[in-house]
A and B are shown apart, each in its own frame.
Chain A
Amino acid sequence: MTIIQTARYGMAQEALAIVGGNVLTQTGLIRADVMVEEGIVTAIGLDLDLPVAAKVINAAGCVVGPGFVDLHTHLREPGKEQAETIATGARAAALGGYTAVVAMPNTDPVLDSAFVVRAVLDLGAVSTCEVAVAGAITVGRQGEALSPIAELAKLGVQLFTDDGSGVQHGGVARRALDYCRGLGVTYAEHCEDNAIAAGGVVHEGEWSAKLGLPGQPASAEEAMVARDLLLARELGARLHLLHLSTQGSVDLVRQAKAAGIKVTAEAAPHHFTLTDATLQSYDAVFKVNPPLRPDHHVQAIIQGFLDGTIDAVATDHAPHTKETKDLPFDEAPPGMLGLETAFSLTYERLVLGAKMSIEQLFQVMSTNPARIAGLDRSGARPYGHTPHGELVAVGNVANLVVVDLDATWTVDGSSFASLAANTPYEGRVMHGAIRHTVLRGEPVVLEGVATR
């Protein structure tokens, strides 16, 4: 592959010492200090000889691990800069412990051309979080003509999706999957069969019936999951399934993995922490796509994480302005903020609530998503993204997060770095907080505050 653009991501020059933490290394969690020079981890251990000029940051009582990677972020720029920009979204990401995010292509214009993709990558390169791009599968996300997938792949785009909607036409989906396979990039699907969904704005079930809101059945998602799994099996193609939300989807992926189909899957924190009972308020802050579902689906998603069926926590961070969320429920756009709450929710629900280990949390929030996005060491990273998702080791680029598992904090959407405030967790007390985030050796978040 021709590499068009490289190494735009500068390393921090100032030496950094992260002291007193429990560091997540190849040999597990160890009590150690971490020395970072020119953006690279140069030493891990106790009683390190710190250079006098080193900036010391306190990690006492915290876990030091690889920075998180979000497979599913809507940065809204270009097109809806009043809801979010690449700069504000990246700052929100850094505050959420992320060192890399994948920007979704449903912007205006759509990320379906090299020109627009390069603009997003360039803005991302100078922000507080590395920004990779998911390119559109089809021109304008219209589900018809394939977008210039090969050209975008040369820019480093690893994931292709029409996220926001699924590729409705099975023939188009099959061709796109096949084309992606030839290029070694990944087809990612927003699984929603529009005909089955029939315009439903919430999950079809007890609450849609009571509230008189048009519902979409779980099968609207599952039908497309099944279709894509069959296509991937037949073609031997790599498939990534976005924001799974139903028990049936988890079951299908579990079977597919057992059968050797090259599939990975993600799920969003709101789909393992909230149910559709929240809709009683008709508050559009709870409107999201796929919709919130009853508890047995929520439990199935949690189970999917525990047994490895679901590979990654992905936020589906979807900023919307207050005025658009203040519309009647069926008129308001779907989506909720996620970057600044994802870690705490995952820690609470999967670690504290479902006995996942802290090492596994870093797997699903950092290592696995980095691999799926091609942002790990073995990934192509032609645009010069640094490696993410690696256990802390000497010689690695210092993309790190320091999390305080004992801290509690209260969600206040208006204080978020995101321009928007549409969090469904307003007022909720969270357990576990991001203390510091280090990007290429630069502390972009210190003591929970963004440094730039």
Chain B
Amino acid sequence: MKNLLSIHDLGKAGIIDVMNVAESFAEVERRTMKKVPALKGKVVATLFFEESTRTRLSFETAAKRLSADVLSLSVASSSVKKGESLKDTLKTIESLGIDAVIIRHRSSGAPLQASRWLDDIAVINAGDGWHEHPSQGLLDAFTVRQAWAEDAGVKPIDTGAELFAGKRIVIVGDIAHSRVARSETLAYKALGADVVLCAPQTLLPSDTSSWGVEVTHDLDAELEQADLISVLRLQAERGSGECVPSLREFNADFAMTTTRLRALKPGARVTHPGPMVRGVEIASEVADDPRCLVTTQVTNGVAVRMAVLYLLLTGGNQGLEGVGQ
């Protein structure tokens, strides 16, 4: 594999590889000297057609800690504004001799199209429309495995996917318009967890019959059984506002409140891919509770993205396929 477009590209073994390599990079991040020379001489470009400071910074930090050179293409000030097509923009940066391009685009599938247009460049999807945000799904799974391994007193790297078997993971919020929901669902399902999608009917994807998930509209009924609650934001900017009568009504049934936090079973965790809106989909007390992993998620984002870049950009053309040989 030379690209990371979807969690589908990895499969269970690939997800575990990424998580295990990320453990090594997490160690690098704890050092005073946080940089390793693994990608010295490689050039990585970030191409964000939709602004996202946190994801862009996380990828750029990851690339720099691997000693790669980073080209940060700011779309707002580029020729895209002058009418240049995505294809031409990609062809232009290809001619600059880059090794990987990290793309965020408002259109689902744009990174997949980009991978067809680029010959020898690794394409990493940093979020496409409502489709996927694979690095987020990976870092969420990584963070959760770390927490569960700590609870069990074992090293995460020794556990593979064991800790996910039989776990009940509830993804709550605007599933329909969430690329994180799709990537998390694929990742958690691949690792062997049971996934429950919880949202008002109008914020569920139209047909999830082939996803192998349960669907519910009752968050309160899930709290006692859930091992993990993944809280998602209402994607008002992507048109989900009209899908519910009001934010107030949505939050009454689907926000993670302190009352709901108290109803969780011992050891259950809460994640949020950010950016959080405190007091809206997640109460401030929940966000700051030790059971909520949101700051760890941000920290781990760099290690996981280092692992993705490392695995895609080393090993000649073998990339992730060569891993484990």
Contact = CB atoms under 8 A, between A and B. Distances in A.
Interface stretch (A204-212, A307-315, A333-341, A385-393): A204-212
Interface in A227-286: 281-283
B210 interface: yes
Nearest to B5: A282
Contact of A210 (B87, B110, B210): B210
Nearest to A323: B85
B105 interface: yes
B72 to A, nearest CB: 21
Interface string B177-198: 0010010000000000000000
Contacts of A331: 107
A330 B108 contact: yes
A212 to B, nearest CB: 3
For chain A, what secondary structure do more than half of its interface residues adopt (helix, strand, loop), or is it mixed? loop
A326 interface: yes
B118 to A, nearest CB: 13
Given A282-B113, A326-B85, A330-B129, A212 B108 contact: yes
Contacts of A215: 206
A50 interface: no
A282 B109 contact: yes
A212 B128 CA distance: 9
A329 interface: yes
For chain B, what secondary structure do more than half of its interface residues adopt (helix, strand, loop), or is it mixed? loop
* Among B110, B129, B206, residue most surrounded by chain A Cβ atoms (within 10 Å): B206
B113 A205 contact: no
Contact of A209 (B107, B112, B128, B205): B205
A281 B110 CA distance: 10
B209 interface: yes
A328 B86 CA distance: 8
B131 A211 contact: yes
A66 B199 CA distance: 57
Nearest to B111: A282
A330 B205 contact: no
Interface string B210-225: 1100000000000000
Given A205-B206, A209-B205, A282-B113, A327 B129 contact: no
A139 interface: no
Nearest to A202: B108
A209 B108 contact: no
A211 B5 CA distance: 12
Given A282-B113, A328-B113, A209 B129 contact: no
B227 interface: no
Contacts of B207: 204-206, 208-209
A327 B206 contact: no
A208 B113 contact: no
Given A206-B209, A208-B206, A212-B131, A328 B110 contact: yes
Contacts of B85: 323, 326-327
B214 to A, nearest CB: 15
B130 interface: yes
A213 B205 contact: no
Contacts of A283: 113
Contacts of B205: 208-210
B105 A212 contact: no
Contacts of A214: 130
B235 to A, nearest CB: 11
B132 interface: yes
A217 B206 CA distance: 9
A323 B110 CA distance: 15
A213 B130 contact: yes
Contact of A211 (B109, B113, B117): B109
Interface of B: 85-87, 105, 107-110, 112-113, 117, 128-132, 179, 182, 205-211
Interface of A: 204-206, 208-215, 217, 281-283, 323, 326-331
Given A205-B206, A211-B131, A213-B109, 5 more contacts: A204-B207, A212-B129, A212-B130, A328-B109, A329-B108
14 contacts: A204-B206, A205-B207, A209-B206, A210-B211, A211-B131, A212-B182, A214-B130, A215-B206, A328-B86, A329-B107, A329-B113, A330-B107, A330-B108, A331-B107
